[in-house]
Amino acid sequence: MKIFIGCDHAGFEMKEALKKYLIDANYEVEDKGTYSLDSVDYPDFAHAVATGVETTDGSLGVLLCGSANGVCIAANKHQSIRAALCWLPEIASLARQHNDANVVCIPARFVNDETGLEILKAFLASSFEGGRHQTRVDKIAC
């Protein structure tokens, strides 16, 4: 499975830790930046990850910024993206199971690296349940 990952400066250090985990777990990872702690604009990286997920069948995305609100809002501007802001592993699981989320957004200033990793693992381990949730997901797109 291909994973697109991106962040702004606030999420850089956690992104690097999550990227290492993904590579070690044999995921195909495409890092869309940022590549340092220098201040940058989060939409640039959110749009790059969202575009990657939109154009690569079966892929997922991981976005990080300080609160995860900015990257989540930007990614959700893309028609086929369902980005979910997740601060607990259980929320990440439910985002996949009930909302068919294809991008997880992690608030790097509000969770530690260990929790960030658990959120990512829960997101990747879960899948869409369909059923009654499919009808709801079908109503999301405008």
What distance in Å separates the CA atoms of residue 54 and residue 35, rounded to the nearest whole number?
22
**Centroid of chain to Cα 69:** 12
Map residue 11 onto helix, strand or coil: helix
> Phi first, then psi: what are they for 137, rounded to 5°?
-65, -35
Exactly one of 9, 47, 78, 98 is catalytic; name it.
98
User: Three-class SS of residue 31?
Assistant: strand
> How far is Cα 91 from Cα 123, in angstroms, rounded to an integer?
9
Contact 16, 5 (CB under 8 A): no
Catalytic annotation present for 65: yes
- Please state, in angstroms and rounded to a whole number, the distance separating the CA atoms of residues 29 and 49: 11
Q: How far apart are CA 69 and CA 112, in angstroms?
A: 17
Active-site choice (7, 65, 86, 105): 65
| Catalytic center residues | 65, 98
